[in-house]
């Protein structure tokens, strides 16, 4: 079955700050985004890689590819106003059949096992999302401002890649954008489709703040 991955890196990285966008920051000498694309290539060299980047960063990315002799074949789509719009732009480059994963460009530590489980399960389950357990106690803020402990075993932390049949994801992304669409599973669920959960890997962190870079360097 044909496999695609849309690696989204179209955001602004406001919480990370810094001089260069977080997806280009070198981790032990190699830019984050190259590590992320390599993780998918290592799982399946036949997989089609689609990278979503802001238009004004595409020339810089090409210069980085030359500088680092990065030759993995990939196509580029334009970043959009929100993650939803970036994914939709990437989907326009995906053919009509097969499986498509959507992965955050700033999650370079996804394991080959997790990538494998997500794509394998999606063949029958149509919509698959990796999750990990919550390891701390969780409190909910009520409308009146008081707080309550909630049963943490009823909650999971959601990662990427989120993998779907191409037809389902394309259908889902025809919907109008809603702010509640914080990932791809929420877009698919709005069609009334159930999502299947598989075990993620704890190292698969989303590099969001400078602290995450310290963790990332320690993981390598």
Ligand X SMILES: C[C@](O)(CO)[C@H](O)COP(=O)(O)O
Ligand Y SMILES: Nc1ccn([C@@H]2O[C@H](COP(=O)(O)OP(=O)(O)OP(=O)(O)O)[C@@H](O)[C@H]2O)c(=O)n1
Q: Interface with ligand X includes 160 (CB under 6 A)?
A: yes
Nearer to ligand Y, 115 or 125 (CB): 115
Tokens coding 177: 């954008």
Q: Quick one: what does residue 158 bind among ligand X, ligand Y, none, with the CB cut-off 5 to 8 Å set by partner type? A: ligand X
53 touches 22 (CB < 8 A): no
C-alpha distance from residue 217 to each of 28, 70, 108, 109, 220 (Å): 7, 21, 12, 11, 5
Kindly report the length of the chain: 220
Min dist. Cβ of residue 67 to ligand X (A): 28
Q: Interface with ligand Y includes 180 (CB under 6 A)?
A: no
User: Quick one: which of 41, 183, 51, 53 has its CA closest to 115?
Assistant: 41
In whole angstroms, give the CA distance from residue 27 to residue 208. Answer: 14
Q: Interface with ligand X includes 83 (CB under 6 A)?
A: yes
According to DSSP, the residues that pair with 197 across neighbouring strands are 129
Count residues contacting ligand Y (CB under 6 A)?
20
Segment interacting with ligand X (CB under 6 A) among 39-47, 56-64, 153-161, 210-218:
153-161
Nearer to ligand X, 48 or 104 (CB): 104
C-alpha distance from residue 39 to each of 7, 42, 69, 203 (Å): 11, 5, 17, 13
According to DSSP, the residues that pair with 172 across neighbouring strands are none
Q: Interface with ligand Y includes 111 (CB under 6 A)?
A: no
Min dist. Cβ of residue 206 to ligand Y (A): 5
Q: Interface with ligand X includes 195 (CB under 6 A)?
A: no
Q: Interface with ligand X includes 104 (CB under 6 A)?
A: yes
Among 24, 104, 173, 205, binds ligand Y (CB under 6 A): 104
Q: What is the CA radius of gyration of the chain?
A: 17
Contact positions vs ligand X (CB under 6 A) = 83, 104, 158-160, 182-183, 206
């Amino acid at each position: 079955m044909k496999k695609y991955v849309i690696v989204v890196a179209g955001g602004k990285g406001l919480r990370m700050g810094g001089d260069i966008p977080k997806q280009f920051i070198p981790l032990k000498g190699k830019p984050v985004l190259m590590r992320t694309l390599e993780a998918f290539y290592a799982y399946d060299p036949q997989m089609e890689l689609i990278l979503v980047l802001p238009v004004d960063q595409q020339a810089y990315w090409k210069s980085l590819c030359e500088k680092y002799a990065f030759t993995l074949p990939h196509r580029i789509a334009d970043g959009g106003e929100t993650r939803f719009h970036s994914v939709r732009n990437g989907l326009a480059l995906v053919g009509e059949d097969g499986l498509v994963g959507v992965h955050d460009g700033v999650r370079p530590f996804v394991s080959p096992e997790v990538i494998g489980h997500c794509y394998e399960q999606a063949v029958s389950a149509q919509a698959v999302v990796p999750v990990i357990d919550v390891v701390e106690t969780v409190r909910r803020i009520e409308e009146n401002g008081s707080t309550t402990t909630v049963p943490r075993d009823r909650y999971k932390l959601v990662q990427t890649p989120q993998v779907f049949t191409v037809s389902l994801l394309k259908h889902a992304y025809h919907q109008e954008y809603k702010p509640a669409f914080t990932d791809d599973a929420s877009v698919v669920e709005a069609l009334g489709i159930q999502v299947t959960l598989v075990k993620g890997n704890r190292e698969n962190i989303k590099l969001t703040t400078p602290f995450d870079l310290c963790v990332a360097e320690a993981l390598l």
